[in-house]
Structure 1
Amino acid sequence: MSQTDVAVVGTGPNGLAAAATLARAGLRVDLYEAKESIGGGLRTESLFDTDVVHDICAAVHPMAAASRFFREFDLSARGVELLQPEISYAHPLDGRRAALAFHDLDATCEHLGPDGARWRAMMEPLIRHSAGVVDLFLSGQRSIPRDLLAPLLLAPWVLAHGSPLAPRLFRTEQARSLLTGVAAHAVGRLPSLASGAVALLLGHLAHGTGWPIPQGGSARIAQTLADDITAHGGKIHTGRRITDLKQLGHAKTVLLDTSPKGFVQIAGNRLPSRYTRSLARFRYGPAAAKADFLVSDPIPWSDPEVAKAGTVHLGGTQREMFLQETLTSKGVATTEPFVLVVDSMATDPGRGLPGKRPVWAYAHVPNGDTRDPLEIVRARIERYAPGFTDTVIAQRGITASAYESYNPNYVGGDIGSGALTLTQSILRPMPQIDPYRTPLPGVYLCSASTPPGPSVHGMSGYLAALSALRREYGIRTPPSLSPRSPASRSFSDKTEPTP
């Protein structure tokens, strides 16, 4: 096997981001993917009809429009159109009009009536400082924020919404459920400080850079990253499962887009026992069970306005969500879990055909849950869209336990690669100054199990790559990620850096 500078294991968004950063620095990079196609959580496939595409994992991408990595990488300049729905997300309620988060803040405040002024007071300052807010959350959590006002703006609202005071924050159920539905993206106990932080991060983005859907599917993001990597000399090897670090002995540096569990399996007895024990204490969170449907018609929501939303949260009232998500986090299986739904053709009409539409859905379930989610998810949709079942042409369910087989990083079906508690959000995968380094020389972790955690932002891979560039190659200036910047020379053609 020929010598290379860097081997990256895993081609999820973080593995791809790491490889793109390292290749742009002029290093020779090889990527290894166990599946026959790249992308990890960014895969898009034709499940039931060759002309209808379904996102297999992630479908809606607030962070692909907002994170530092993607701001610099500039997907739109590379031909990836991030489509903005008129309504970023909606929350149907029994017997009353749905709660709607329009992309336009003014429209949202008007819709919320007596709570509109408070919603504006919460969101408007965050929108003005959005880059600072995003960079605060999507950092290695080890440095002083660039925008010192960002944490001050966030703190009172996070404390209010992440505590038992949350029900008093708004007067109407529409506003309470609208924000709590976003908090449920933390996939854990409600309320909590971690979920309050997630609510403010994702909630303000709904009125800023948005909750966009990539035209043509999530795989467009993965392919665009792969194209940049190969344009800078990188090589991608699919169908190559790495089970032992010995397989990567030809590389000076190794970056692993794997969970701590996967890292221990690949590293074997090379790891110090103390480090292995620390990784064993890493907690995995509740899981997702996936349901994919091929339907004949748009989802028949009781409130027609919901059909304009890119994302729909099915959780009922704030009290119901607090109960259901807390039970799920404790490992209690319920028949009315929180469900997310995306009717992608409402935003991206090219995803299907007349009479054939893809519908994407997740249910939050206990880690390792073995129940087929189809009946549960159908019932949840039917509650707010009577007649939905009659439109179903074909369907496929993936249990939480089966999700780990699809992607080993999803331990027990945990698509966040680690519980999103306040402590573990900051100290993942364990307390140390550089969370990406491991005790093994030249070996780094770059998955969502490292800061800043889950979502398609590329920042775990990007920050791990910067750490490797500093420590292994003496490169302290981040390479340009812009599509307009010239290709770097091969690292072998450069002056040898200072160690």
Structure 2
Amino acid sequence: MLDVVVVGAGPNGLTAAAELARRGCSVALYEAEDTVGGGARTEELTLPGFRHDPCSAVHPFGAGSPAFNSMPLSGFGLEWLHAALPMAHPFPDGTAAVLSHSISETAASFGSRDAGTYRRLVAPFAGHWDTLAADFLRPPWLGMPRDPLRFARFALLGPQPVALLNRRFRGEKARALLAGLGAHAIAPLRGLTTGGLAVMFALAAHGHGWPVARGGSQAISDALAGYLRSLGGTIHTGITVKRLDELPPARAYVFDTSPTALARIAGLGNTYRGFRYGPGAFKIDYALSGPVPWTAKDARRAGTVHVGPSAREIGAALLRASHGQAPDTPFLITSQPTLVDPTRAPDGKHTFWAYGHVPNDWRGDATEAIERQIERFAPGFRDLVLARAVSGPPEMAARNANYVGGDIGCGAFDGLQSVLRPKLARVPYATAHPAVFLCSSATPPGGGVHGMCGHNAAREVWRKLHAPRR
């Protein structure tokens, strides 16, 4: 009998498997696709020689992940590459607010009215990313905070909506930048914890940057898989698991799947009937003949560019997606990895990645709306397009079964579900079946390529396997 079987080889499944294997467990991992990766893959989607990341491309929480940093992933090929600026937020007048490695440079980009306000906002946490991440990216029952006073201070800030946080600022540049950061929750800006999430994204940039992986996001998954194999773990790809009894006998089963898929496979009935999925993503990968011609100079040197000229417009775009309305003027998150990794495209060419938010399972075409929005800030962009690969919610869900209805966060991040994922429970990774656990992005701390959902779940599995028998 194996100690642990893991289903799903996304970053969380791989992390959970590696964490348990290095603790001495015998581990087998099963993946439906032919390669590992989940939301961290790299493929030639457009033209030969252009390597794109079908989902996650930039990793704000990856380089500073307590889970990843506890493993020797650099020894298995993972190398982080940093652009001159982690993120830029351009405006119609040709200027931009920036999220820099430097707090001072970031604050200065907001103008004199808001520079001091921003410094005061982040100053209590600056230089403390490692302890802050360790405390907030894991459940509190796994131990006392490493930095209790700072933890308590951030706990007062964390639940705030970004709409409330933005009342501290007077100018549009700071408000728009923070709204864009909060929009990574893919939820209305008045939602709980969106303000705390925005600050965490900012602190990640100041602490470890917003890097890309050399060669593409697949390098993260391959490094985790290589480390797992070095520990004796086995990986089986191309195997779709439909029922729990199809798997080999094990003391524990850990699922990097959506909650609804877990319930179906493990026979848990309506356990997650109240779980809600959020808006979908409409994503376009581009092969370009040259770099994006942003009007704002700072955007030309940023790894990530947010496109949305005001907090009001960003908020309206998120509301439309959340309320089931087609996109009109979408807020865009874009990535230009070839600025720092020329291996992703032929000489002189570039890859570019952009997505906007649409209703869950939306079947329309947002290509025109997205490219019209890019052209507002980068006139002539369309002239550079050599090829494009378009993925709406159905295509996103077909590529990754965890993206139900195109929801790349594996669950709506609004209301109480933003903090009580996937349902009200003392241990969100445990299920009604004593040997079955959930470790996907549907569990805390949520979406992103950081492995912390898998890391936290693995610790709970280890605790259960080694609990004293009564």
**TM-score of the alignment, normalized to the shorter chain, above 0.5:** yes
Letter in 1 for 2:15: A
Distance 1:470 1:401, change over 3 A: same
* 8 Å contact kept, 2:84–2:302: yes
**TM-score with structure 2 length normalisation?**
0.95
Map 1:354-365; keep pairs closer than 5 Å.
Answer: 354-365=347-358
Letter in 1 for 2:22: R
**TM-score with structure 1 length normalisation?**
0.89
Q: Distance in 2 between matches of 1:422 and 1:308?
A: 36
Map 1:385-404; keep pairs closer than 5 Å.
Answer: 385-404=378-397
Determine the structure 2 residue equivalent to 1:123. 122
Q: Which moved more, 1:361-370 or 1:36-45?
A: 361-370
Q: Distance in 2 between matches of 1:154 and 1:61?
A: 22
List structure 1 segments (4+ residues) > 4 angstroms apart after TM superposition: 141-144, 155-161
Q: Which moved more, 1:299-308 or 1:78-87?
A: 78-87
Determine the structure 1 residue equivalent to 2:153. 153
Shift in Å at residue 82 of structure 1?
A: 0.9
Shift in Å at residue 79 of structure 1?
A: 3.9
Shift in Å at residue 197 of structure 1?
A: 1.4
Shift in Å at residue 422 of structure 1?
A: 4.9
Of 38, 41, 49, the match for 2:39 = 41
Of 27, 30, 39, the match for 1:32 = 30
Letter in 1 for 2:373: R
1:458 aligns with 2:456: no
1:442 aligns with 2:447: no
Shift in Å at residue 113 of structure 1?
A: 2.5
* 8 Å contact kept, 1:373–1:398: no
Of 328, 336, 351, the match for 2:329 = 336
Map 1:99-498; keep pairs closer than 5 Å.
Answer: 99-114=97-112, 115-142=114-141, 144-155=144-155, 157-158=157-158, 162-163=162-163, 165-268=164-267, 271=268, 276-474=269-467
Q: Distance in 2 between matches of 1:232 and 1:155?
A: 37
* 8 Å contact kept, 1:295–1:355: no
* 8 Å contact kept, 2:291–2:349: no
* RMSD after superposition: 1.9
Letter in 2 for 1:204: L
* 8 Å contact kept, 1:141–1:426: no
Task: Describe the SS at the equivalent of 1:61.
Answer: coil
Q: Distance in 2 between matches of 1:278 and 1:211?
A: 37
Deviations 1:58-88 (A, max 9, x none): 0011111112111211434544221121211
Q: Distance in 2 between matches of 1:360 and 1:260?
A: 28
Deviations 1:365-408 (A, max 9, x none): 11111123322222221111010001000111111122111111
* 8 Å contact kept, 2:162–2:179: no
Q: Which moved more, 1:222-231 or 1:320-329?
A: 320-329
Shift in Å at residue 452 of structure 1?
A: 1.3
Determine the structure 1 residue equivalent to 2:86. 88
Q: Distance in 2 between matches of 1:365 and 1:184?
A: 13
Shift in Å at residue 157 of structure 1?
A: 4.5
* 8 Å contact kept, 1:295–1:356: yes
Deviations 1:138-165 (A, max 9, x none): 11254653322234433555566534x4
5+ residue gaps, structure 1, are 475-496
Determine the structure 1 residue equivalent to 2:56. 58
Shift in Å at residue 109 of structure 1?
A: 2.2
Q: Distance in 2 between matches of 1:303 and 1:18?
A: 42
Letter in 1 for 2:321: T
Determine the structure 2 residue equivalent to 1:485. none
5+ residue gaps, structure 2, are none
Aligned length: 468
Q: Distance in 1 between matches of 2:465 and 2:371?
A: 51
Task: Describe the SS at the equivalent of 1:294.
Answer: strand
Task: Describe the SS at the equivalent of 2:272.
Answer: helix
Deviations 1:397-441 (A, max 9, x none): 111122111111111111111111252132211112211111223
- The alignment-based identity, stated in percent, is 42
Q: Which moved more, 1:177-186 or 1:328-337?
A: 328-337
Letter in 1 for 2:59: H
Shift in Å at residue 98 of structure 1?
A: 1.3
Task: Describe the SS at the equivalent of 1:394.
Answer: strand
